Amino acid sequence: MPRWTAITETIVRTGKISALLDAVQGRADADAQADPLPQMIADVTATLRSAVSTGNALDSNTAKIPNSLLGLGTRMVVRRVKDHLDMEMTAAEQKQADEDRSYLNRIMDAKLKFETPDDADGSSEMNPSQPSIRTVEPDTTRRFTRGGMGGL
């Protein structure tokens, strides 16, 4: 069984969200616009991969996130769908959103470890390899004086 999975419309559509997705896609069709759901999913995926990359290896498939984050990812997509439809969140949804933000912050602080990627990418698209830090010994032979600095 894979340890990392892509968020798909099918995954988001499970549960009560199906009617909301139909409304978003219907609005897009009526306005002759592209379905906004794929971009919403891509944005959430990029956000989660960016957060995970601070302390974990990433899967080489840039559409995949750790399975343990599918619930969070789905809730994030649902909130974007509701925002797109100008729908207010209930008090329970607002509380869940606050908890999700807190959890996302813990992920970004590299306090959580996630499943090993199915196909680990040697480098992260979010955190390119950093150049090595070089220490430089100070030059003690040069003295800065007023005369040497042109009167400064």
The 10s digit of each residue's pLDDT in 35-91 is: 889 999 999 999 999 999 988 899 999 999 999 999 999 999 999 999 988 999 999
Name which of 3, 7, 1 is nearest 120 in CA terms: 3
Any idea where the domains of the chain sit in the sequence? 4-108
- In the prediction, which pLDDT does 70 show? 94
Residue pointed to by tokens 């302390």: 55
- What pLDDT is recorded for position 5? 95
At 112, the pLDDT band (50, 70, 90 cuts) reads confident
> How high is the pLDDT of residue 99?
96
Q: For 75-113, b where at least 16 C-beta lie within 10 A, e where not — what string?
A: bbbbbbbbebeeeeeeeeeeebeeebeeebeebbeeebe
Residue with tokens 């957060």: 51
6 membership: H or E segment, kind and range: strand 4-6
Whole-prediction pTM value? 0.75
The predicted pLDDT at position 17 comes to: 84
pLDDT at residue 76, rounded to an integer:
95
The pLDDT of residue 143: 59
